[in-house]
Amino acid sequence: MVVVTRKLPDSIEAQLQEHFDAHLNRTDTPLSANALADALRLADGVLCTVTDRFTAQHFAVPVRRAKVLANFGVGVNHIDLAAARAAGIIVTNTPGVLTDDTADVALALILMTLRRLGEGERLLRTGSWSGWRPTFMLGHSPRGKTLGIVGYGRIGRALARRAHDALGMHVQWWAPRDPKVDGPDDDGPASATRVDTLDALLRTSDVVSLHCPSTADTRHLINAERLQLMPSHAVLINTARGDIVDEHALVQALRERTIAGAGLDVYEFEPTVLPDLRDFEQVVLLPHMGTSTMETRVAMGASALRNLQAVLAGDEPPDRVA
């Protein structure tokens, strides 16, 4: 038996039912902590998502049947990996298939913040637009601006290629480790430069885009002190994970105009968004849409299905993280 914690594309649910005794979530209602514990106790495998938090207590259930947690997504910060390992449960994810869509949304947020497109759309919808004029709602061109990328994995490099080739931006990046590049098509632009420290990148970037995983080390990586390092005209983009940014510090930086704006697709207290963030005109807010295309969600489901099939057949899964 396999428990699927959220509603998935119809084609993926049909394949799950074909291969397993699949218990689907027809109402798409998030499962409670007790229901998640029951899934680990009763099912052979669980196909979970970022909305499902698996703590050490979940893995400590006295009678546990589950062999695998197949995560629908790349980030696994919602799963206590150490507890999963100790319990002998394999954890997998779905890397690679969501790179392009997430990079596209990051690029869109750069354009929306620099060109003030969100403000313009809201102004028009309220009926407040009085017509074209030379100095109306002037934004900034991305061309010639410096994009600083924090984390240079697949998504960070995909954004770098887009920003360089399509928008004419200079790209610099920082990461604590050398990135794993599979080939020329997976690399960043040749002109991209590596910066020695995160602080140096923040000081010298017009746009800062976050593409690092959520870990204990990256929680509040962007805090009040680091926001102070950014130029006052700079904008912050986050399509990674919400807790990488101290959102209360971000609100203060926006209020004091320490930075010029922000484009966010993820939030520290998701799905709650701080009311102050919603009040800033210079902030673009999206409801976690980075991978929201039918093509990518189907590909993510297919990847999770492959991982489930491998583990439950006694084989090594292609995308094991723990």
Half-sphere exposure (Cβ direction) of 90: Cα atoms closer than 13 Å: 21
Half-sphere exposure (Cβ direction) of 179: Cα atoms closer than 13 Å: 22
pLDDT at 31 over 90: yes
244-286 confidence digits (pLDDT tens)? 999 999 999 999 999 999 999 999 999 999 999 999 999 999 9
61-114 confidence digits (pLDDT tens)? 888 999 999 999 999 999 999 999 999 999 999 999 999 999 999 999 999 999
Across the range 174-179, mean pLDDT stands at 95
Q: Which residues are catalytic?
A: 241, 270, 288
pLDDT at 191 over 90: yes
Q: Mean pLDDT over all residues of the chain?
A: 97
Instruction: Report yes or no: 89 and 70 within 8 Å, Cβ to Cβ.
Output: no
Taking CA atoms, 215 is separated from 3, 175, 199, 221, 241, in Å, by: 27, 14, 19, 10, 10
What is the model's pLDDT at position 62? Answer: 83
What is the model's pLDDT at position 233? Answer: 98
What is the model's pLDDT at position 260? Answer: 98
CA distance 190 to 228: 30
Domains, in order of start, for the chain: 2-97+293-312 (3.40.50.720), 99-285 (3.40.50.720)
CA distance 321 to 300: 16
- First vs last C-alpha separation in the chain: 21
Which pLDDT band holds residue 220 (cuts at 50, 70, 90)?
very high
